[in-house]
Amino acid sequence: KQEVTQIPAALSVPEGENLVLNCSFTDSAIYNLQWFRQDPGKGLTSLLLIQSSQREQTSGRLNASLDKSSGRSTLYIAASQPGDSATYLCAGGSGTYKYIFGTGTRLKVLA
């Protein structure tokens, strides 16, 4: 059964730092890996989607990579800003159209 783990659970950094959030999964047969942002009291906003055939995706200051052989995905945030403060979630899609979410990394960027 697919399990998705995100480490660390919480992270606090000063503004301007580059940072990496980690997502590990146990079943390499995922067909996509999606990163989301969740603000308090809100739904999830899709940030990046990586297909199983891709190695990375980029959007603005965000870059997500996928390494199926090692069971890892990383979300790189360049030049972090206070507005980036949120909980970041990753989710792996399995072959039966199910999605397994990690428990998230709570990020705080200090001004």
Partner 1 sequence: EAQVTQNPRYLITVTGKKLTVTCSQNMNHEYMSWYRQDPGLGLRQIYYSMNVEVTDKGDVPEGYKVSRKEKRNFPLILESPSPNQTSLYFCASSLSRTGHQPQHFGDGTRLSIL
Binding site for partner 1 (CB under 8 A): 31-32, 34, 36, 41-46, 49, 51, 89, 91, 93, 96-104
Instruction: Identify residue 69 by its one-letter amino acid code.
Output: S
CA distance linking residue 7 with residue 23, whole number of Å: 7
Residue whose CB is less far from partner 1, 6 or 80: 6
In whole angstroms, the minimum distance from the beta carbon of 99 to partner 1 comes to: 6
Of 1, 86, 61, 75, residue with least CA distance to 33: 75
In whole angstroms, the minimum distance from the beta carbon of 70 to partner 1 comes to: 21
In whole angstroms, the minimum distance from the beta carbon of 46 to partner 1 comes to: 4
**3-class state of residue 62 by DSSP:** strand
Count other C-beta atoms under 10 Å from residue 97's C-beta.
Answer: 7
CA distance linking residue 98 with residue 71, whole number of Å: 17
CA distance linking residue 32 with residue 70, whole number of Å: 15
Residue whose CB is less far from partner 1, 13 or 49: 49
Residue whose CB is less far from partner 1, 14 or 43: 43
In whole angstroms, the minimum distance from the beta carbon of 48 to partner 1 comes to: 8
Residue whose CB is less far from partner 1, 4 or 79: 4
